[in-house]
Amino acid sequence: MSTTISETKTKISVGIQPFGIEADHPRNADLMIQSIPGCRLRGAVVASKGTIVNHDSETGDSVISPDQAMYLGNYPQIPGMQLHVDPAKCTYSIIDPLYDDEKLCERIKATAKRLCGIHMERKLRGVAPQKGKLDPHRMKTLCREMFNIVQAGEGKTVKGVLPTMEDIDSLPGKYLLNPGSRIFNSQPTFEEDFPVWYDNLVKSGG
């Protein structure tokens, strides 16, 4: 029988100290955080990374478009948004280093106007700080997601020490099967219940 979130008692973990990561995708892309539905982190924008990927017809290797790299080179380096967590308190915060950095924002606005003729009437401020609290299951799942982002080279640690998977596995709670889902589905809540659910689905001809 699958377990529901309400059936699991909330526990406090002190095994992992607060840590934070910055979105830093190798293609200047944004990151969608599945464990916080609706959370999108702007990735750091660096000209040398480029955003348009071409493929060498002979080797099949991915190469950065020189035109795109040259275009981005006119902009100042833009920091990525950060996601900080405190597993012991099951809290998170989203921080945009661009927020209220007036000098950098004005440089970005001036460059956009010069290159593209884009005139921004409103003051460019970045994204305001956000905070939230999660249940232990979602926090545990979020910590694993952040670990995988760093391991994949799509983010970097900017606060504290990135925990090991052993540390994350030891956190209270269970891993959510589909944390980003915002619609009802018949799948179990937790990953550990999926094999039995799947076997029963196959047996029933589903």
Q: One digit per residue, pLDDT tens: the chain, 206 residues? A: 344 444 344 444 457 999 999 999 998 899 999 999 999 999 998 877 755 555 556 666 655 565 566 667 788 889 999 999 999 999 999 999 999 899 999 998 888 888 777 777 778 889 999 999 999 999 999 999 999 999 999 999 999 999 999 999 999 999 999 999 878 888 899 999 889 988 888 888 75
The domain in which residue 145 lies consists of 5-203
- What confidence score (pLDDT) does residue 200 get? 87
Count of the separate structural domains present in the chain: 1
Percent of the chain, pLDDT > 90? 54
User: Is this structure's pTM higher than 0.75?
Assistant: yes
* Cα-to-chain-centroid distance, residue 128: 17
